[in-house]
Amino acid sequence: MHATTLSIAGSDSSGGAGIQADLKAIAAHGGYGASVITALTAQNTQTVTLAESVSKAMLEAQLRAVFEDLNVVAVKSGMLPTPEVIITVAHALREHAPAHYVLDPVMISKSGYHLIPAESVSALVSHLLPLASLVTPNTHEAEALSGVSPIRTVADMEAAGRRILASGARAVLVKGGHLDHAEAVDVLVTPDHCETFAAPRLDVRHTHGTGCTYSAAIATRLGQGQDLSTAICGAKQFLTAAIAAGLEVGQGIGPTNPFYFLASPEAAEAWVASMRAEGRADV
């Protein structure tokens, strides 16, 4: 049965982040994406005006429908707005035990809208961190999860990652995109080692959905058989190209372009060839 990457996240009505960005990133990697929607948001490239959680019954029904029928090998979660949602998702993950679970602890939108209340942060730490193969906080989220603040250097990122690791996660990737450094450096912390992943810092405006795209790409690559470091390295290269090709959609911060390689037949062929060269399954 064909492998599935499941995104458990909120819906972005502008199409640039959340479930919509996840499914694009999964498809770009030759994967099959399924979705469980945790919340509806009314947003565009400039602002989020409203966010509402789905009912517990609807959330449970979606989880049951997907897990009972599809071959879910990897899961990523994004916006989990309430403790009830977090506990419900945790129960499903414990029951079905997917091989890989990437937790993107989405807390604040690109426009500054607080997507989850403070009590959800503690619920996330208690119920989901211990289940995660990888947690992917940006520096603001890492500060909230670890208590290490402010995070300004790579050493700070490693310290925060180790604090989060102590909460039960198997690995933590602290993303440095918000820091004022010459390069965009992410720090992977595991019980055994610390590793950095660097890419050029691009002077571009359209970066909506970067975290969603990154975590979905990592989850898909893990589900296709890559080890953690290889999956992160490939996903970061993919994200950098998607950011460079960002789309001027709307009047605010437009989205990244996960289908940048469709700009020409030659680019598409090069992308497919690179995936085959990596020996990924189902590609």
Which of 176, 209, 234, 254 is an active site residue?
209
What is the phi/psi pair of residue 72, to 5°? -80, 110
Catalytic residue list contains 240? no
Which of 161, 176, 211, 246 is an active site residue?
211
Which of 5, 38, 41, 207 is an active site residue?
207
Q: Within 10 Å of residue 183's Cβ, how many Cβ atoms?
A: 12
Catalytic residue list contains 24? no
Give the span between the Cα atoms of 152 and 156, in whole angstroms: 6
Q: Within 10 Å of residue 36's Cβ, how many Cβ atoms?
A: 25
HSE at residue 263, side-chain half, CA atoms within 13 A, is 13
What Å distances lie between residue 107 and 3, 90, 138, 258, CA to CA? 29, 18, 10, 22
Which of 212, 223, 234, 246 is an active site residue?
212
Length of the chain as a residue count: 283
Q: How far from chain centre, in Å, is Cα 172? A: 12
Catalytic residue list contains 250? no
Name the maximum alpha-carbon separation found in the chain: 49
Beta strands at 194-200 and 134-135: parallel, antiparallel or unpaired: unpaired
DSSP 224: T
Catalytic residue list contains 112? no
Residue 180's Cβ-count burial label (10 Å; 0-12, 13-18, 19+) is exposed
Give the span between the Cα atoms of 58 and 173, in whole angstroms: 31
Which of 24, 76, 110, 175 is an active site residue?
175
DSSP string, 247-264: ---SSS-PBP-TTGGGGS
Report the catalytic residues: 175, 207, 209-212
